A = this chain, B = another copy of it.
Amino acid sequence: MQSDLATVVEGVNMVWVLTVTFLIFFMHAGFAMLEAGQVRSKNVANQLTKNLLTWSVGVTVYFLLGAAVSTIVGGFTGGGGADVLGAFTDLYMPAEGAAGTWVNWLFGAVFAMTAATIVSGAVAGRAKLRAYITYTVLLAGVIYPVVVGFTWAGGFLSTLGFHDFAGGVIVHAMGGIAGLTAAWIIGPRMDRYNDDGSVNVIPGHSMAFAVLGTLILAFGWYGFNVGTAASPLAYSEADGVTLASFAYVGRVALVTTLGMAAGAMGAGGLSLVKTGKVDTLYVANGVLAGLVGITSVADAIVWPGAIVVGLLAGAQLPVVFGFIEKRLKIDDVCAVFPVHGSAGVLGALLYPVFAVDLWAGNASFVELLVPQVVGVVVIAAWTLAATAAVFGAFRAAGEARVSREHELEGLDSSEHGVDTYPEFGGRDEAVRVDGGVRIDGGKRTRGSRPPSDRTADGGRVSGVEKTTTEDGEN
């Protein structure tokens, strides 16, 4: 009878883990659309191909190497040591009856691949395919597994008490920092900055795809966060069946919802205040930044904290993006650092303020804060160093980015030999702006009209007037 109940519990948990794993996998469609929408039409297929290959190459490497590296790093840095060979054989040849081994591996793999795919948005439009894929191999095989080893796999950050529920730092900030680092090393797209240091806006080719991607990601994110409550039921001879993570799954569901909602409002609100208009891409990225912000803490903060974290995660988007673009002069094409990096760090560092444990008097602010700071610093430093080393080596070898000719031509043609939209005209856009906020949307007027025609409103060239070149091409 008791073993019957244990089996029921195992079955229910497996149904749940599989369901949310599929949802998280579907986030690749979200990333593909989000990124494709934010690049020029000449680079869309390149972005899509990178997304497909990130998953394909990455997940294979994560099976053959990465998952075992996590286990090993977790064992050694957690002080317990590790059976190096066993880490591989337990996965390659699980014991009879270990029905869940490969299910649990896949559950881990979809998180790993989320981290990996974030990077492609930052280096869009100029990274060489072979450099990107090689980096993906290293990320899936070593760089991300080391982070997981330090944390979820029982390593020293775990011992220290670092709290990252579903990967706000481990997955998202890691991906955002890796993306920013890669974009920094590779350098900006050729038409992103002018000789005088001023910035050109290069709007994405389809806001519709960007928002579709956002909503797919939000859908998958429910799997990401709520699904991390990965064992709805538990069974022990002593206690019988208990609700395990379902004791807090309601909190995760609520906090995730309020966080994403507040993220949209924070980003949209700031956009309205600064420019008088509610920028669509801000709102969309605000949804994602809100989600990133509460991902590390969704199980353990009071719900008003979710609203605050979301609002701040959304509102920091334009500030951080502007800093990266104008001060650091890094061309983070899809704003992956503001969305995944700084938002993830923000949420993790605000944990002590809104922790249920603090408000219930079970923990002090400082004892909650210290592990968070250490965790963020360690993960950021490792990710930055490893990524800089890899892309630095590519750059030194002249293999980091495509030729100027290929970049001008577009990567769809030069790297993939395809044309994403053979029947639709493509005007190539790059707009000089002298201030103000816009992640998106300006439009270059071309041809015979004088530069003075570029009327700036709130620092953004109006997207309305359409002019055309003399030869009638568009």
Contacts and interface: CB of A to CB of B under 8 A. Distances in A.
Interface string A439-474: 011110000000000000110101110111001111
Nearest to A242: B7
Contacts of A254: 63, 102, 105-106
A22 B257 CA distance: 11
Contact of A211 (B48, B97, B422): B48
A424 B14 CA distance: 47
Contact of A421 (B49, B205, B428): B205
A469 to B, nearest CB: 9
Contact of A251 (B32, B102, B205, B426): B102
A384 interface: no
A423 B428 contact: yes
A200 interface: no
Nearest to A18: B226
Contact of A45 (B12, B29, B207, B240): B207
B464 A473 contact: no
A59 B261 contact: yes
A458 B417 contact: yes
A463 B442 CA distance: 26
A174 to B, nearest CB: 22
A412 interface: yes
B8 A268 contact: no
Nearest to A26: B219
B265 A10 contact: no
Interface residues of A, number: 142
30 contacts: A3-B240, A7-B233, A7-B241, A18-B253, A28-B215, A29-B212, A32-B215, A41-B424, A48-B208, A51-B211, A52-B264, A52-B287, A53-B278, A56-B264, A56-B287, A99-B243, A99-B250, A102-B250, A102-B251, A103-B249, A103-B253, A106-B254, A106-B257, A207-B412, A207-B420, A279-B416, A281-B418, A417-B441, A425-B474, A468-B473
Interface of A: 1, 3-5, 7-12, 14-16, 18-19, 21-23, 25-26, 28-29, 32-33, 36, 40-41, 44-46, 48-49, 51-53, 55-57, 59-60, 63, 92, 94, 97-103, 105-106, 109, 129, 203-209, 211-212, 214-216, 218-219, 222-223, 226, 232-233, 240-243, 246-251, 253-254, 257-258, 260-265, 268, 275, 277-281, 283-284, 287, 303, 307, 409-410, 412-413, 415-429, 438, 440-443, 457-458, 460, 462-464, 466-468, 471-474
User: 10 nearest interchain CB pairs?
Assistant: A419-B463, A472-B472, A102-B250, A418-B441, A56-B264, A29-B215, A277-B417, A56-B261, A207-B420, A102-B254
